[in-house]
Amino acid sequence: MTLTPPLARRVPTRHESHGVVRVDQYHWLRDRDDPAVIAYLESENQYTQSVMDQTGDLQETLFNEIKDRFKQTDMSVPYPDGNYSYYVRYKDEQEYPIYCRRQIGGSSRDRSSLVNVPEPGPGLATGVSGALEQVILDVNELAKGQNYCQVSGREVSPDGSLLAFAVDFEGRRIYKVRIKDLASEEMLDDELEGVTNNLVWANDGYTLFYTSLDPVTLRWHQVYRHVLGTRQEEDVLVYEEKDETFNCEVGKSRSKRYLLLASYQTVSTEYRYLDADDPEGPFTLFWGRERDHEYQIDHYRDRFYIRTNYQATNFRLMEATVWQTDRQHWSEVVPHQSDVLLGAFELFRDHLVVQERREGLVHLHVRPWALPENGHHVAFDEAVYDAYLSINRNPDSQVLRFGYESLTRPASVYDYNMVNRTRVLLKQDEVLGGFDPLRYRSERLLARAPDGELIPISLVARLGTPRDGTSPLLLYGYGAYGISMDASFSSARLSLLDRGFVFAIAHVRGGQELGRRWYDDGRLSRKRNTFTDFIACAEYLTDQQVTNSDRLFAMGGSAGGLLVGAVINMRPELFAGAVAQVPFVDVLTTMLDDTVPLTAGEYDEWGNPHGRLAFEDIRSYSPYDNVEAKPYPSLLVLAGLHDSQVQYWEPAKWVAKLRACKTDNRPLLLKTNMDAGHGGVSGRYRRYRDTALEYAFLLNQAGLD
C-alpha cells in the first residue's frame, strides 16, 4: 500500500540580506538532534519505499544483474614499491577490500602473516612469482559490527615495517588514524582521533605527519608531527592555515627527499618544503601565495618542477634548482598552449610524461629529457574514451603504467615502454554475463549553446536502439570545480542500455574538458552557463530525435545535483524525470553561513553572497529559492544523514518545499541514508542497492519496468 506523501510542518524563519527578506519555512530541518527531524526523514524514507514497492522485483533483478557482472573474487594489478609489490583483492560475498603485498626477490623477515595465495594469472604478478602473500589490512575485519566503514590514506613506512591508515565509521570524513606493525600483525597503541586521511611518513620511519581539521567547518587547517610511542596531545603543530578560505595538506616528493606542505584554495596555492631526513626542521616557503596564481610542485634529482598558471591560463611546466626557487629563476620545460590544458605530470629518469586535455579528450605525452623534440603521444583509437596516469612508483623505469577505458570498453591497465613505444595489457576488468563491447556504440556530438559555444556530448547506446525519438535517454552532468566528466565505463549502466536507454554525458562549462576557460566560464557570475549548456544539450538530443522530452531524464550528484535542480526550475517541461544524488540545492543560505562545512573555501567557486552582486547571482539560480507553483518532472532525491559536503537538510528542505508547491501528481521521492555520508553507503555490494533503486525509478517512469 502506498502511503500518503509526508508534509513537513512549516516554521517560518526570517533571513535578511542586502535588504532582501527571505522566509524559510523548513529551516528547522537543520537540527539533526531534533527527534522531529529524524522522524520526518524516516517518514520520507517510508513513503519512498511504499511508492517503490511496485518495483521490488525489478530492483532485485537489477541488483543481481549488476552484482553478477563483476568477478566476486578478484584482485588489482600489483605495483612495485621498494622491496614489495602491492595490490588489493576481494573475496566472494565480502563487502570490503583486502590490502596485500608480496616481497620482490626474497622472503619476508617474519612469515607468520604470509599465506600461499595462488597468483592471479599471467601478467599480474611480474617480479613476485613464488613469493607468499602478506595481508597488510583486511577491511572486512575492521568493518565487523559497523554500519559504515571507509579506509583511506594508507601509507607504508619507508622501511616497509609499518602501515598507517585512516578509518571512518560514520561517513562524515572525520577519521581515526591507526598504525599496524606488519611483522607482528599487532596495532600499535598510537591513535590519532578527529583527523583527516592525509598522512605521510618522514624518512626515519617513526615520524608521521598528518593533517587535522576544524571540527565545525571541517576545513583542513593544521599539520601535526607525531612520533611513534607518544600521545596525540604531545604532537607538534608544524603549520596552521589561518586564512579560512584555504585548506592545507602534506605529501612527499617523487624523489622522496622532501615533504611538501601545500596551502590551497580555488584560485591560489602556496607550497613549503622540508628535508624528509630532518623531520624536526622548519618548512621553507617555496613561493608565496598570490591571488589567481595556482601551482603544484614536485622534486626529482636536483630540481623542483612546477606546474603553474603564471602567465599561462592553461598552465605550463617550469623547473627550478633547489637553491634558487624564486620565480625569476624558473625556466620553462613545457610551454603554455592556448588550446591544450596541461594536467598531471610524472617524472622519470629518462622521460617526462604529461597529461594533456585536447578538444575534450585526455592525451598522454611522452618526451625524452635528452631529446624533448622527439616527444610523442600514446596512441588511442576510440573517438570517446578516458585515459589517466596509474601508479608509477619507480622513477628509474622505462615503463609508464596508465589506465584506459571508454563508454564501451572496461577499465584496463597497461604498461607502456616509453623507448620502443609498445604496450602490454596487464588487466582489463572482466564483465561477466556475456558482455560484448561490439554490441554497443559510442559517439561524440556537439550542441550549440545560446551564446554560440559548442558543448560536447558523449553518448552510448546498444546497437539497434531506435533513433526516432522514442528511446528513453539519461543525460548526466556535473559542471563545477574544474572537474571534467570523462567517458568512463560502467558495467552497472548496461542494465539501462540493454533495456533500451541511451546514456549521454553533457560536458558543460564549469568542468575543464575544453581547458581552463571552460571552467572559468561556468563559475561565479557565469555559473548560469552550466545550466543553459545542459539545456542546450537536452534540446539538441530531442531535436535530433535521439529522444523526446517525454522520455528524457536528467541525473547529477552534489554540484551536479545543483545542476539538476536549476534546470528543472528553468525548463521543467523538457524532462520527464530526474535523479538528484546528494544535491547542493540550498546554495544561497549555505553560502551565507560560513559555519557550514566548506562554505568559506568556496567563495571563488560560487561567489561570496555577503556582497550584493554575488548574492543576486546565486539567488537567481539557487534551486531551493526558485521553487515555484508549477508542474515538475518526476524526481528521486538521495541524501546522506552524515554528509559532510552537502548537508542532509539541503535535499530534505528542497523536497519539502517542492511537495508544498508543485502542481502535478508525478512522483517526488526522498531517500536519506541514515548510515552514510556524501559518497553513499560503504561496501561494494550495498552501494549497488542504491543503483538498483535509481535504475528502477528511471525504468518505471519510462514505462520499461
Cβ-based neighbours of 458, under 8 Å, separated by 6 or more: 384, 407, 442, 443, 444, 487, 504, 505, 507
Instruction: Give the residue numbers annotated as catalytic, written as ranges.
Output: 558, 643, 678
Question: How far, rounded to the nearest angstrom, does the alpha carbon of residue 344 sit from its chain's CA centroid?
Answer: 16
What pLDDT shows up at residue 475? Answer: 98
- Domains in the chain: boundaries: 13-68+437-701
In angstroms, rounded to a whole number, what is the distance separating the alpha carbons of residues 172 and 194? 11
Q: Which of 136, 127, 134, 126 is nearest to 156 (CA)?
A: 136
What pLDDT shows up at residue 596? Answer: 87
Q: Tell me the average pLDDT across 312-331.
A: 95
User: CB of 505 within 8 A of CB of 458?
Assistant: yes
Q: For the segment 272-285, what is each residue's pLDDT rounded down to a tens digit?
A: 999 999 999 999 99
Q: What is the DSSP string of 543-582?
A: HTTS--TTSEEEEEETHHHHHHHHHHHH-GGG-SEEEEES
For residue 422, report the phi and psi dihedrals to the nearest 5 degrees. -110, 155
Q: Tell me the average pLDDT across 334-359.
A: 96
Q: Is the pLDDT confidence value at 617 over 70?
A: yes
Write down the mean pLDDT value for the chain. 94
The CATH H-level superfamily of 13-68+437-701 is Alpha/Beta hydrolase fold, catalytic domain (3.40.50.1820)
What pLDDT shows up at residue 130? Answer: 58
In angstroms, rounded to a whole number, what is the distance separating the alpha carbons of residues 402 and 416? 8
Q: For the segment 368-412, what is each residue's pLDDT rounded down to a tens digit?
A: 999 999 999 999 989 899 999 999 999 999 999 999 999 999 999
What pLDDT shows up at residue 116? Answer: 43
What pLDDT shows up at residue 620? Answer: 97
Burial tier of 448 (Cβ tally within 10 Å: 0-12, 13-18, 19+): middle
User: CB of 272 within 8 A of CB of 261?
Assistant: yes
Strand order in 399-405's β-sheet?
386-389, 399-405, 412-417, 422-428
Q: How confident is the model at residue 553 (pLDDT cuts 50, 70, 90)?
A: very high
Q: For the segment 114-151, what is each residue's pLDDT rounded down to a tens digit?
A: 444 444 433 333 334 557 999 999 999 999 999 999 99
Q: For the segment 44-81, what is each residue's pLDDT rounded down to a tens digit?
A: 999 999 999 999 999 999 999 999 998 989 999 999 99
Cβ-based neighbours of 573, under 8 Å, separated by 6 or more: 549, 631
In angstroms, rounded to a whole number, what is the distance separating the alpha carbons of residues 532 and 150? 37
What pLDDT shows up at residue 703? Answer: 95
